[in-house]
Amino acid sequence: MDHDELLRIADAERAKAKPNEIRCCTSSGCRASGSADVLKQLKASVAANGLNDTLTAVGVGCPGLCSAGPVVMSHPDGGMFGKVTAEQAKGIVAALSGGATDAQRIDPNQPFFRKQFRVVRATAGQIDPERIESYIAVGGYEGLYQALQKRPDEIVTDVTASGLRGRGGAGYPTGLKWATVEKMPPGQKYVICNGDEGDPGAFMDRSVMEDAPHQVLEGMAIAAYAVGANQGFIYVRAEYPLAIERLQAAITQATKAGLLGANIFQTPFEFKVEIRIGAGAFVCGEETALIASVQGLRGTPRPRPPYPAESGLWDRPTLINNVETFATIPAISRNGAAWFAAIGTDRSKGTKIFSLTGKVKNAGLVEVPMGTTLRAVVEELGGGTADGKAVKAVQTGGPSGGCIPASLLDTPIDYESLGKIGSIMGSGGMIVMDDTDRMPEVARFFMEFCADESCGKCVPCRVGTVQLHGLLTKLVERKATRHDLDTLVELCQLVRDTSLCGLGQSAPNPVLSTIRYFAAEYEALLQPEEFARPPRASVIPLSVV
């Protein structure tokens, strides 16, 4: 493969395109609502009406509005239909030539679509994720070609200048991470893509892997070239079978096309990618635990330093980034660092994808520039709550994050602002709650999750989360006293300060943030002291531990 050949593939694919296209979402969400049948019927209708010369029906990635799935779009006129059934397929095809259809139309100009700014998801809903040609036709692998024309350290400088920060949650500067691995002495180095999206309520990484698997591979290849690695791994959770299938197909296609493997773009650069499938463990999202799991071990974290950048997979320097981080790289390589740095806020550059769910009218994926307010996302793009009730809180960052009350909805979304109000950006889950949601119950839900998912290696997390869950249960069951509430807060601080890895350190966040903003709900559950004897020592039976 050389650059001319890449351009030839793109030209051939564009020349092949018919004047009209009917696009049907084939991502997990719409699939669960029967989009595979819809696509089959669309194809059959196109053929039956003799429209094969002017119209094609194709499966595409997620256009974002999952709550209206299965979604069908017509191109280039921009028509959009939601909740499409297989029976309605015929009508939709007929509607293109002026016929009638009873399919429910979606307004493509509503704020949900209009107010997004898509960088990572730029091609979702437009290309067929299962064909490499479809990706190449929209400029795919051009970023890799351009990167290979530069020196590795120039790319690292570019990424640093772009201001990109890790999209997995912590927001560590990506350029700094790359520079650390790049500066390690030459020898075996690895690149790992963290696709173990375990945060309940978050699905943007699943979507990126399903909708743009080649974009993830391209980002990894650029990273590998920049840091001097020749082997990559994608760690995907087993709960995402479609993502695994599409990534595997993408790896095969890219290898066959000469975009992975040896002598990529006729340079000495060599890069292979393998998929590693997880087996259900939230803690494996933590980078050292993930590395253990890739090596076939129990996914338990280890203390850092040494950081994986110095000593990671099989004790070699290893670059670990999240799916969304890698998927951002091709656009930076194509458009330049300055272009990317111009998007977003001063300290949080670029865009971020959020999975907006819960009690919200428009549930789905939104990509907005950093610095957009929570209110804009929830009320304008999300359309408020589904049944018109008041928004009570927005939970961000999953079990590691916090609940933000409605009074703080004008907070801009960036790493620092969210941190200041006791929550985090996290991987981008955003769950809207209304008046019917009880915050102590939500806190207990997250603590149950953390207690269950604790790997058990360090005592504060293993024992602390169980005790915290016990105290929250006591509260929810109206058996707790003020003394218990004080113990709860004290223990939260202890677990946060003494746990080994991010799981334990952040597990108290949902509890502390709900106590901070919804104290009255906790107070209302408390019982007078005399009903709860004896206190402390036997508050929680030992058998629970």
Least distance to another protein from the beta carbon of 364, Å?
A: 5
Q: Is the dihedral of CA 33, 34, 39, 44 positive or negative?
A: negative
Cα distances from 456 to residues 86, 293, 464, in angstroms, run 48, 15, 11
The reply to whether 112 sits near another protein by the rule CB under 8 A is no
Contact characters 67-106, another protein, x per CB under 8 A: x-x-------------------------------------
Judged by CB under 8 A, which of 75, 121, 177, 359 binds another protein?
A: 359
175/278 with CB nearer another protein: 278
Least distance to another protein from the beta carbon of 63, Å?
A: 11
The reply to whether 449 sits near another protein by the rule CB under 8 A is yes
Can you state the angle between helices 152-162 and 213-227, rounded to 10 degrees? 120
- In the chain, the N- to C-terminal Cα span, in Å, equals 60
146/454 with CB nearer another protein: 454
Q: Report the alpha-carbon distance of residue 14 to residue 94 in Å, rounded.
A: 25
**HSE-CB for 329 with a 13 A CA cutoff:** 35
The reply to whether 453 sits near another protein by the rule CB under 8 A is yes
- Binding to another protein, residues 211-250 (CB under 8 A): 238-240
Q: 267-284 b/e with 16+ CB inside 10 Å = b?
A: eebebebebbbbeebbbb
The reply to whether 431 sits near another protein by the rule CB under 8 A is yes
Helix (H) or strand (E) holding 93: helix 89-95
Q: Report the alpha-carbon distance of residue 150 to residue 87 in Å, rounded.
A: 53
Least distance to another protein from the beta carbon of 538, Å?
A: 27
Rounded to 5 degrees, φ, ψ at 77 are: -75, -10
Least distance to another protein from the beta carbon of 302, Å?
A: 15
Least distance to another protein from the beta carbon of 212, Å?
A: 16
By CB under 8 A, the count of residues binding another protein is: 52
DSSP string, 323-353: HHHHHHHHHHHHH-HHHHHTSB-SSSBSEEE
Least distance to another protein from the beta carbon of 200, Å?
A: 4
Can you state the angle between helices 152-162 and 323-335, rounded to 10 degrees? 100
Two structure tokens written together for 156? 């690292």
Rounded to 5 degrees, φ, ψ at 102 are: -95, 10
Judged by CB under 8 A, which of 33, 146, 325, 481 binds another protein?
A: 33
The reply to whether 433 sits near another protein by the rule CB under 8 A is yes
Q: Report the alpha-carbon distance of residue 111 to residue 377 in Å, rounded.
A: 10
The reply to whether 450 sits near another protein by the rule CB under 8 A is no
The reply to whether 435 sits near another protein by the rule CB under 8 A is no
Contact characters 12-31, another protein, x per CB under 8 A: ----------------xx-x
The reply to whether 364 sits near another protein by the rule CB under 8 A is yes
246/359 with CB nearer another protein: 359
Inter-residue contact 281 to 293 (CB < 8 Å): yes
Contact positions vs another protein (CB under 8 A): 28-29, 31-33, 66-67, 69, 197-203, 206, 238-240, 276-282, 293-299, 355, 357-359, 363-365, 395, 398, 429, 431, 433, 437, 442, 445-446, 449, 453, 455
